[in-house]
Structure 1
């Protein structure tokens, strides 16, 4: 009895063929199906067949002597489904089977980006880590995760070494050292399922909400750092002091000629030229600029009239959260002597 069973088993194995020796053709040979959607695949025999059918947990079917049979599912939700088309023929090889290359995919429930172990503003020149998390995506081996700064791709990674067919959670990290040029720059990450030519085109993509960087940096250096201003009688000029920085810089003015009267009415007078220094500062540093004020001298007539002149510069101080300015008005007073 045992010998007969072994002979039958050996005969069955010898009579079963697949691949190039098989007389079955599956169309399409590779099916890419979105989770929950319908699928229909044909299996055709190229020679007379006794039985032709699909072996499957869902949608199993068979036919006798027909040369084609359909595997059809209205809503595919089985992650481990592996449909196999089989045929029983009149001539050798008596048994034949082909496995359908089936890819069931699902886009992620969510994708998000965050800072690792940090809250609040960043500081220029320091290193930070961004984290991108992708929830419930499948199959992960077809996933490409891309990092963007604005519209520019800065990094990507794949997960081809992973093989689970069911939805999983994956993450990716990105190290950055932000500069002041990146203050306000949006970072985002994108999950793309690149499922091949049989899959949807373009590949399904889901992108995170952007994370805008808040980069703190000291006030920028003034250019030029020194400015010479020559004024005539009656001239008016605004000495503008403005520097980029985050947090927004505060400003202070200093000079040996200045005598500040009141914060609300900072009227400063001087009867001589001089150097006025504006300093922009915040918690991270400071930057200064010098304004050298020179009063132009006028020629003196020796005859018939001589005069002695004195110039007075009056400065008005204005400050906002973005800049600081002096408004300078030159007035000349002359004493005349007649011979």
Structure 2
């Protein structure tokens, strides 16, 4: 008898699996509670959560959990969700029960992440460029540029794309002898908060050496400008002085 009851509840939840949560009220007093309150899952890994639909308000109401993937099982006001291999980049889950004119619900945020395939650095002109290959979500990425063990700059992305992308970060460096010959590299860290992997995934680029010929010394440039403009001026002054001297002597 218990087996048939459990089977009935499982089938009931699966039927609600594809329903649409409308007129959802997340401020209702006795609202559903997810455990955990949010999920951070590596792409292709398993995931699970439970929902306690209510304490008292929904005991005689239709309830369910709306999610696009996985399997559901319900026993009374408890609903279990599990997926063996999560391969959707943009998803969440909604647990709810019907009220007179609306639904009381809670949403489970799900973040699906992927560490980068590769991190590389290059130098063009006076600009360092750090390329992070196929990372998601890029809004959680922090890129740090280094010279040796000294951090030069830390950058973030405002891109809201949840799927893997190729991200590019650039840094203009000072053109002086002090930076010539230094070892430069960049580091990409995917920080997904306390619910994410600890420590956060980190990948570094190779080291590159900035050659002197790419970085002219400002004093050399200044000396060149002085020679370019000062020598003709001095020459003109000398010529004028000679002419004036000749005219004065002739008179």
**Given the two structures, how large is their TM-score scaled by the length of structure 1?**
0.51
Equivalent runs, 1:1-339 vs 2, <5 Å? 17-45=25-53, 46-47=55-56, 48=59, 50-63=61-74, 66-88=76-98, 95-116=103-124, 128-159=126-157, 161-216=158-213
Check the 8 A contact 1:18/1:98 in 2, yes or no.
yes
Q: CA deviation at 1:60?
A: 4.8
Check the 8 A contact 1:49/1:67 in 2, yes or no.
no
Distance verdict in 2 for CA 1:51–1:13, change over 3 Å: closer
Q: Using the alignment, how far apart are the partners of 1:32 and 1:156 within structure 2? A: 24
Q: Secondary structure of 1:40's match?
A: strand
Q: CA deviation at 1:93?
A: 7.5
Q: CA deviation at 1:52?
A: 3.8
Counterpart in 2 of 1:295? none
Which segments of 5 or more consecutive residues in structure 2 lack a partner in the other structure? 1-20, 217-251
Check the 8 A contact 2:64/2:97 in 1, yes or no.
yes
Q: Using the alignment, how far apart are the partners of 2:180 and 2:122 within structure 1? A: 16
Check the 8 A contact 2:123/2:210 in 1, yes or no.
no
Check the 8 A contact 1:130/1:176 in 2, yes or no.
yes
Counterpart in 2 of 1:6? none
Q: Secondary structure of 1:58's match?
A: coil
Distance verdict in 2 for CA 1:31–1:199, change over 3 Å: same
Alignment length (residue pairs): 192
Check the 8 A contact 1:53/1:61 in 2, yes or no.
no
The root-mean-square deviation of aligned C-alpha atoms, in Å, is: 2.6
The structure where helix makes up a greater share of residues is 2
Q: Which is further off, 133-142 or 46-55? A: 46-55
Check the 8 A contact 1:52/1:69 in 2, yes or no.
no
Q: Using the alignment, how far apart are the partners of 1:20 and 1:171 within structure 2? A: 44
Question: Once the two structures are superposed, what CA deviation does each residue of 1:244-285 show, in whole Å capped at 9, x if it has no partner?
Answer: xxxxxxxxxxxxxxxxxxxxxxxxxxxxxxxxxxxxxxxxxx
Q: Using the alignment, how far apart are the partners of 2:205 and 2:22 within structure 1? A: 52
Q: Using the alignment, how far apart are the partners of 1:146 and 1:58 within structure 2? A: 36
Counterpart in 1 of 2:18? none
Q: Secondary structure of 1:82's match?
A: strand
Q: CA deviation at 1:86?
A: 2.0
Distance verdict in 2 for CA 1:49–1:171, change over 3 Å: farther
- For CA contacts below 8 A with separation 6 or more, give which structure has more relative contact order: 2
Q: Using the alignment, how far apart are the partners of 2:131 and 2:191 within structure 1? A: 18
Check the 8 A contact 1:147/1:188 in 2, yes or no.
yes
Which segments of 5 or more consecutive residues in structure 1 lack a partner in the other structure? 1-11, 119-127, 219-339
The structure where strand makes up a greater share of residues is 1
